[in-house]
Structure 1
């Protein structure tokens, strides 16, 4: 792997904003945490259409997941290890703080599940 590719695949984000339990923003970049699924929030179209059959539409848990992710990232520089993009154009990445994986943290807390 070239150093140029490695630099493009990894980044730091000093001020991420949390959209929901499995999606953040770093500047204009939307980043979906890879390999997890967190409960949806009430504004999710997944809970209003045919995707409802597989969507996790527990809104109370969705708020808890969002808030837990916000607390986990708050006040820290976030490491983003990019893996690709999803069908919605979001960056798929592993997100970590001080070597601790955000997705694993949410799964262990019962606020997300592993997803392939």
Structure 2
């Protein structure tokens, strides 16, 4: 797991959760480049990542692919036992909605 909106599947596929934006982890290029400032709250990024990891362990994960982003990651929504992972993080203020 990279951060609160990007994971790697068991077979190595990089997956970007399509419906949220989570804070960037320390060392992210978005945080190093002052012209392209991302959401760089490292403490919140760690909490978001850890909350997503715990949520994904709660049951069966389903993935709904929606194409790829500009970095070659699979864009998808994730759900655990029918509960949307992105909405789970947004409801806890660990991510914000993204379209």
List aligned pairs for 1:40-55, cutoff 5 A.
40-49=24-33, 50-52=35-37, 55=38
For structure 1, the residue ranges without an aligned partner over 5 or more in a row are 1-17
Equivalents in 1 of 2:65, 2:91: separation in Å? 22
Equivalents in 2 of 1:19, 1:70: separation in Å? 10
RMSD (Å) for aligned C-alpha atoms: 0.9
Equivalents in 1 of 2:78, 2:26: separation in Å? 24
Once the two structures are superposed, residues 79-102 of structure 1 have per-residue CA deviations (whole angstroms, 9 ceiling, x without a partner) of: 010001000000000000000000
SS at match of 2:24: coil
Residue 95 of structure 1 corresponds to 78
Runs of 4+ in 1 over 4 A off after TM superposition: none
* TM-score, L = length of structure 2: 0.94
Once the two structures are superposed, residues 3-23 of structure 1 have per-residue CA deviations (whole angstroms, 9 ceiling, x without a partner) of: xxxxxxxxxxxxxxx211001
What is the CA-CA distance between 1:115 and the residue it aligns to?
A: 1.1
Equivalents in 1 of 2:52, 2:75: separation in Å? 16
SS at match of 2:64: strand
What is the CA-CA distance between 1:75 and the residue it aligns to?
A: 5.0
Q: Which has the higher strand share?
A: 1
SS at match of 2:76: strand
Once the two structures are superposed, residues 62-111 of structure 1 have per-residue CA deviations (whole angstroms, 9 ceiling, x without a partner) of: 00000000000015331010001000000000000000000000000000
Of residues 58, 62, 67, the one that matches 2:41 is: 58
* TM-score, L = length of structure 1: 0.80
Q: Which has the larger radius of gyration?
A: 1
